[in-house]
Chain A
């Protein structure tokens, strides 16, 4: 898929994703070694966005399994369309049960879910298993199976094997420690907060009208906030939001009044706002 690490960076940049060297290298290797990529990091640093960007670059379809507490096989793998099956059963009253059963467990009544969908297609696919840490531990066993063999068995239909392995990205917010076994299957990438230079580039790209001086100040203040040990440190998403807000406010420079008024865009908790205001020497909020 890629010829070099630079190739990864350049092509991701074309889609609007600016990759750090760590991101570009790991994506390159995931492709070369054919291993799933486990991306961990705080909220809003571009984990999900990365998978989308890779799909776009590769001209691949993006299949997404969004995990949540309670997600199970029937949401991840496949499900039989019970309603339709029951209808079929009652429609065929005079048929033999055997005939009915063969019929209702056929393709027509199958609802494929993301994992099966990703494995079945012939076209290039990026499989995004998003927020894996939100799923229950039981789900991991299933993922492990699928990611080892890239095949899924539907007892009534037989085994489906991937003719073309999808490029797999798992994301996690480290809300829960994923199992050692699952980690071993994957290349590991931690995306933290970006270096100043990279973050300035992201702001320039996403909020082009902001102006160089203001862009620089925004990134500096965000950097200072991140060093403060807050409950929720501002992420790239917040930096971009803040930059947009400042642009909308028509702020020319960053001064105390502007910061005081817009701090709520970057910080979500009241105690964080107070702590930051104190450390930044803002007058009473």
Chain B
């Protein structure tokens, strides 16, 4: 293969642009891996490069599409293509029924070639996965594939047959992914792979802005809550240990005691059991920021055994305690947001956010929830819809609490623009920009009390 070194450099550059940290040592290892593996099997090459360049499983989601661009399956369109939609659908239905991955990949290539081209003549401006899938509509093949599988007696025993629909959906999902990869490959041939590898590949979920994440991305994020919580819990534990220093190293004590003829000279210190801190969360759950606050609430609930007490309040323009709902959120995280909005009283006469009103209601009705051991977090964009921000209420909360933090999902540059009261609130609460799960993780491990 020509220009292997350039390909590796390109691949590494694109991965770095997606936030994967790769040093020169790893690049050298990658080159050695390529040398040891050769080019005979592209999938082994993929695994070898992943093993040398990546440091975590989450990075794989950007690695695979980027790899597909720098080490493409082939060049140009398929040898034989067709724009005959019905013929393609027939063949795709059979491939899905047989779960034939190789055939599905070939059909994805034909479909992009035949249906995905756009411009004055098809393909003159590029290829679109979206257009391909809109025309082919693979999701509508479900019933046909199901009948086909059952017809061959492949539905399995009576019980396993009920899994069939979901299995077919997953195969269709896989086909959609293949179409996406193929369209990127074709476009990259025209516009250059460096650009497509940077712009055409979705960032990892933890780097997506909460405010612009779509449904799928938010669902993907929710799946990271538990791993993230475990990670944070260990960081908190480490901080707690450091805070409660005072244990001694038995081995060293004994060892040093040998120089005094075996008499231990240092006393054993007892570790005191610290009182667990308390946490209060005030969450704006209005439409614009709900992705952010839902995720943060789930994360905090996942961490709740780190604290003596956790209470969560949600608001739009009225405020209500939702601690109980969150506790049950564990069984069904995807439904949490809807449940909060259905069961809590969050709005008065209108439906838009009113921070002043909500914070005032908190200070008035739940002021007792905040004491000298309590750390309070406000989650929201501080957009008050031109209402009074009610700074005295915030001042009151800050005075009662041990600490008051504010996590704002908007980029710092937008604070104070339009109806944002962020600068005023930031005078009273320590406000942090918190746009992505990655930022949130870093903030939580730094700010949460131990």
Interface residues of A (CB under 8 A from B): 5, 21-22, 25-26, 28-29, 32-33, 35, 40-41, 72-74, 79-80, 82, 85-86, 89-90, 97, 101, 104, 133, 136-137, 174-177, 180, 183-184, 187-190, 192, 213, 216-217, 220-221, 223-224, 227, 229, 231, 253-256, 258-259, 271, 275, 280-281
Given contacts A33-B32, A82-B254, A190-B57, A180 and B157 within 8 Å (CB-CB): no
Residues of B within 8 A of A224 (CB): 163, 166-167
- Assembled-state Cα–Cα distance A25/B26 (Å): 17
User: Are A188 and B37 in contact, CB atoms less than 8 angstroms apart?
Assistant: no
Q: How many residues in B have their beta carbons less than 8 Å from beta carbons of A? A: 52
- How far is the CB of B326 from the nearest CB of chain A, in Å? 15
Is residue B43 contacting chain A, with contact meaning CB distance below 8 A?
A: yes
- Assembled-state Cα–Cα distance A280/B29 (Å): 46
Q: Select A253's contact among B159, B162, B226, B238, beta carbons within 8 Å.
A: B159
User: Are B50 and A32 in contact, CB atoms less than 8 angstroms apart?
Assistant: no
- How far is the CB of B31 from the nearest CB of chain A, in Å? 11
Residues of A within 8 A of B156 (CB): 213, 216-217, 220
User: Are A188 and B47 in contact, CB atoms less than 8 angstroms apart?
Assistant: no
- How far is the CB of A215 from the nearest CB of chain B, in Å? 11
User: Are B29 and A35 in contact, CB atoms less than 8 angstroms apart?
Assistant: yes
Residues of B within 8 A of A137 (CB): 238
- How far is the CB of B241 from the nearest CB of chain A, in Å? 8
User: Are B162 and A21 in contact, CB atoms less than 8 angstroms apart?
Assistant: no
Is residue B16 contacting chain A, with contact meaning CB distance below 8 A?
A: no
Interface residues of B in 311-346 (CB under 8 A from A): 330-331, 333
- How far is the CB of A93 from the nearest CB of chain B, in Å? 11
- How far is the CB of A97 from the nearest CB of chain B, in Å? 7
Residues of A within 8 A of B223 (CB): 229
Q: Select A174's contact among B227, B238, B331, beta carbons within 8 Å.
A: B227
User: Are A187 and B158 in contact, CB atoms less than 8 angstroms apart?
Assistant: no
Instruction: Provide the main secondary structure of the chain A interface.
Output: helix
| Contact bitstring B347-391, A, C-beta under 8 A = 1, else 0 | 000000000000000000000000000000000000000000000
| Contact bitstring B24-42, A, C-beta under 8 A = 1, else 0 | 0110010011001100010
Residues of B within 8 A of A217 (CB): 156-157, 159-160
Residues of B within 8 A of A221 (CB): 159-160, 163
Given contacts A29-B52, A79-B251, A174 and B44 within 8 Å (CB-CB): no
Residues of B within 8 A of A175 (CB): 230-231, 234
- How far is the CB of B62 from the nearest CB of chain A, in Å? 14
Residues of B within 8 A of A86 (CB): 262
- How far is the CB of A19 from the nearest CB of chain B, in Å? 11
Given contacts A175-B230, A183-B56, A229-B223, A213 and B51 within 8 Å (CB-CB): no
User: Are B158 and A33 in contact, CB atoms less than 8 angstroms apart?
Assistant: no
- How far is the CB of B88 from the nearest CB of chain A, in Å? 26
Residues of B within 8 A of A28 (CB): 36-37
Known: A29-B36, A72-B251, A255-B158. 20 other contacts (CB 8 A): A21-B47, A26-B48, A29-B51, A74-B251, A79-B251, A89-B262, A174-B57, A176-B234, A184-B55, A188-B56, A213-B156, A216-B156, A224-B163, A229-B333, A231-B226, A253-B157, A255-B159, A259-B159, A271-B331, A280-B162
Residues of A within 8 A of B60 (CB): 190
Q: Select A26's contact among B51, B55, B170, B251, beta carbons within 8 Å.
A: B51
19 A-B contact pairs sorted by A residue (CB < 8 Å): A22-B50, A25-B44, A25-B47, A26-B47, A28-B37, A29-B48, A29-B51, A73-B251, A89-B262, A136-B238, A184-B26, A187-B51, A187-B52, A188-B55, A213-B156, A220-B160, A221-B159, A223-B167, A227-B170
| Contact bitstring B47-67, A, C-beta under 8 A = 1, else 0 | 110111011110010000000
Given contacts A25-B37, A174-B230, A189-B51, A281 and B162 within 8 Å (CB-CB): yes
Residues of B within 8 A of A33 (CB): 29, 32-33, 36, 52
Query: In the complex, what residue of chain A is closest to B170 when comparing beta carbons?
Result: A227
Residues of A within 8 A of B238 (CB): 136-137
- Assembled-state Cα–Cα distance A98/B54 (Å): 53
- How far is the CB of B440 from the nearest CB of chain A, in Å? 15
User: Are B157 and A89 in contact, CB atoms less than 8 angstroms apart?
Assistant: no
Residues of A within 8 A of B418 (CB): none
Q: Among the interface residues A29, A89, A280, which one has the most CB atoms of the partner chain B within 10 A? A: A29
User: Are B55 and A80 in contact, CB atoms less than 8 angstroms apart?
Assistant: no
Residues of B within 8 A of A183 (CB): 55-56
Q: Select B43's contact among A21, A26, A73, A177, beta carbons within 8 Å.
A: A21
Residues of B within 8 A of A35 (CB): 29
- How far is the CB of A269 from the nearest CB of chain B, in Å? 10
Query: In the complex, what residue of chain A is closest to B163 when comparing beta carbons?
Result: A224
Is residue B191 contacting chain A, with contact meaning CB distance below 8 A?
A: no
Q: Among the interface residues B52, B159, B162, which one has the most CB atoms of the partner chain A within 10 A? A: B159
User: Are B234 and A22 in contact, CB atoms less than 8 angstroms apart?
Assistant: no
User: Are A188 and B159 in contact, CB atoms less than 8 angstroms apart?
Assistant: no
Q: Select A184's contact among B23, B48, B159, B249, beta carbons within 8 Å.
A: B23
Residues of B within 8 A of A280 (CB): 162
- How far is the CB of B250 from the nearest CB of chain A, in Å? 8
- Assembled-state Cα–Cα distance A217/B33 (Å): 39
User: Are A177 and B231 in contact, CB atoms less than 8 angstroms apart?
Assistant: yes
Query: In the complex, what residue of chain B is closest to A214 when comparing beta carbons?
Result: B157
- How far is the CB of B254 from the nearest CB of chain A, in Å? 5
Is residue B276 contacting chain A, with contact meaning CB distance below 8 A?
A: no
User: Are B251 and A254 in contact, CB atoms less than 8 angstroms apart?
Assistant: no
Residues of B within 8 A of A275 (CB): 331
Query: In the complex, what residue of chain A is closest to B158 when comparing beta carbons?
Result: A255
- How far is the CB of A275 from the nearest CB of chain B, in Å? 7
User: Are A5 and B227 in contact, CB atoms less than 8 angstroms apart?
Assistant: no
Q: Select B231's contact among A101, A176, A220, beta carbons within 8 Å.
A: A176
User: Are A5 and B37 in contact, CB atoms less than 8 angstroms apart?
Assistant: yes
Q: Among the interface residues A188, A189, A216, A224, which one has the most CB atoms of the partner chain B within 10 A? A: A188
Q: Among the interface residues B54, B163, B166, B230, which one has the most CB atoms of the partner chain A within 10 A? A: B163
- Assembled-state Cα–Cα distance A213/B52 (Å): 40
List 10 A-B pairs, minimum CB-CB distance, nearest first: A176-B234, A25-B47, A183-B55, A190-B57, A217-B160, A26-B51, A22-B47, A74-B251, A253-B157, A187-B51
User: Are B50 and A29 in contact, CB atoms less than 8 angstroms apart?
Assistant: no
Residues of B within 8 A of A281 (CB): 162
Q: Select B50's contact among A133, A136, A188, A213, beta carbons within 8 Å.
A: A188
